[in-house]
Structures are given as structure tokens and as C-alpha cells.
């Protein structure tokens, strides 16, 4: 199983990726050492969206979609919709 995922930091910055181990990958993104990437000094990160796929190719394609204009619009819609559905509860 593979996952396309979206992380968000406290400033609202979104990071999109794909992996076969979502829990491990989130720990790597939040680690202070041993993982040098774009996310290293911009965390902490939390998972805000993920989708499961049978193949790495499918997960990578979905990650690439998230990085397009239509993909960013899709993420805004579902993330803002999800946050708004919790208001007043």
C-alpha cells in the first residue's frame, strides 16, 4: 500500500508527498536530525490529508496532481471544508 499525503505546519504551509509508510514518513519530516529535506526547519508538521493506493505509480501521480493548480484548489476546498465543519461543535 502506498499513500499520497499532505502535511501542514503551524504557518499553514502545505507539503505534498508520497510514501509506503505514512507514520514513519511523518516522524522523519518532524525529526531534528537525520532527515535533510525542505520540511526539516519548517515544522512541526501534522498530516491533514492522505489517500491510499495499490501502487507507487498511482500515489506519485496523485502527489503530482496535488501540486497542480487544480490540485491546490481541491486541497483548499477539502481542507477548509473540513475545518469549517468543526466550527461550533
Domain limits of the chain? 2-84
Q: Grid coordinates in use for 8?
A: 501542514
Determine the Cα–Cα distance for residues 3 and 19; give it in Å rounded to an integer. 5
pLDDT of residue 47: 95
pLDDT per residue of the chain (89 residues) written in tens, 0 to 9: 999 999 999 998 999 999 999 999 999 898 877 566 778 788 899 999 999 999 999 999 999 999 999 999 999 998 887 554 434 43
Exposure of 12 by Cβ count < 10 A (0-12 exposed, 13-18 middle, 19+ buried)? exposed
Collapsing DSSP to helix, strand or coil, 51 comes out as strand
Domain 2-84 in CATH 3.40.1440? yes
Amino acid at each position: 500500500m502506498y499513500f499520497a499525503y499532505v502535511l501542514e505546519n503551524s504557518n499553514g504551509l502545505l507539503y505534498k508527498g508520497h510514501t509506503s509508510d505514512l507514520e514513519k514518513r511523518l516522524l522523519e519530516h518532524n525529526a531534528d536530525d537525520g532527515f535533510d529535506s525542505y520540511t526539516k526547519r519548517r515544522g512541526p508538521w501534522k498530516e491533514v490529508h492522505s489517500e491510499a493506493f495499490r501502487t507507487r505509480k498511482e500515489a506519485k501521480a496523485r502527489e503530482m496532481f496535488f501540486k497542480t493548480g487544480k490540485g491546490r484548489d481541491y486541497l483548499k476546498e477539502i481542507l477548509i471544508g473540513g475545518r469549517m465543519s468543526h466550527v461550533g461543535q
